[in-house]
Amino acid sequence: MLISSDSQVYDGVACIKVPDVRKAVEEVKSLLYDNRSAEGRDEVGGYTIIADDAKIGDSTFIGRHVVIDSGVIIGSGCVIGDGVKIYAGTHIGDRVHVKANTVIGGDGFGYYFDQGYHKIKHVGSIMIEDDVHIGSNCCIDRGTINDTIIKKGAKLDNLIHIAHNVVIEEGVAIAAQSGISGSSVIGAYAQLGGQVGVVGHIKIAPGSRIQAQSGVASSITELQEKWYGYPAIKYWDYLRSFSLFRKLPSIEKRLKNLEERIKSNSNS
């Protein structure tokens, strides 16, 4: 932690000036509470099932009631929370955190119709790169043929669904209850607010910021733009449109008055 040389006392309270308060607070918390972290502990919790051919790196913590299926590879320094299910062929990099009850590598929602619905076999896998964090109760589906990929440093909140063949690029952050439909690509360092929905087979440009409860129905090609609404449009265009929308009842009333006046004048 960097401490400013001009630390002073204000009203009897010693103050330490730092360049970044949030970072400094986290450093202090890591010193005080580091013993509570599962990170860096080689441990496997009770009632956990690990396939004989699964590979798990050093200093990886595995919680209770976890299932790690055949052919799974997990890197070093990972934390796999209680109740997590990781199905066959999933590859997870180093320092990945997965919180409780998340399911990684289940079949996606894929059917074809021929006098009824028939299941599409999913033979792809999941590739999760280093330093990814995944919240509780997320579902990340394996690919149909190609892999579902979550790249380095991505952060996923709780209750998120990532469908088959989706690619989450480096540094993406997605808030809770969002859903990404199959074969879409979320560009590097994009940010998706809570309850955002993304349709399938589209691309979202790097650095995009999608506001909460928006629906992205077509590809976004402009870099570093903010988007809002359903279907999502540029953030400031949405706010201007919404401002007008709120005035529609009064505008309608004024139009009716004008129509009545015009009609009255024409009859006189």
Asked whether the predicted pLDDT for residue 1 surpasses 60, the reply is no
Looking at every residue in the chain, the average pLDDT score rounds to 92
Q: Please determine, for residue 250, whether its predicted confidence score (pLDDT) is greater than 50.
A: yes
Between 31 and 87, name the one with better pLDDT. Answer: 87
Spatial CA neighbour of 172 closest among 185, 193, 159, 186: 186
Tell the burial category of 104 from Cβ atoms under 10 Å away from its Cβ (0-12, 13-18, 19+): buried
Amino acid letter, residue 177 = Q
Respond yes or no on whether the N-terminal peptide bond of residue 231 is cis (omega within 30° of 0).
Answer: yes
Express each pLDDT in 159-174 by its tens digit.
Answer: 999 999 999 999 999 9
Which pLDDT tens digit goes with each residue over 107-118? 999 999 999 999
Task: State which H helix or E strand residue 91 sits in.
Answer: strand 91-92
User: Helix, strand or coil for residue 7?
Assistant: coil
Question: pTM here?
Answer: 0.85
Domains with residue ranges and CATH for the chain: 1-36 (no CATH), 43-240 (2.160.10.10)
Residues with a known catalytic role: 164
pLDDT in tens, 188-201: 999 999 999 999 99
Q: Which residue is associated with the tokens 């330093």?
A: 131
Burial class of residue 30 in the structure, from the number of CB atoms within 10 Å of its CB (0-12 exposed, 13-18 middle, 19+ buried): exposed
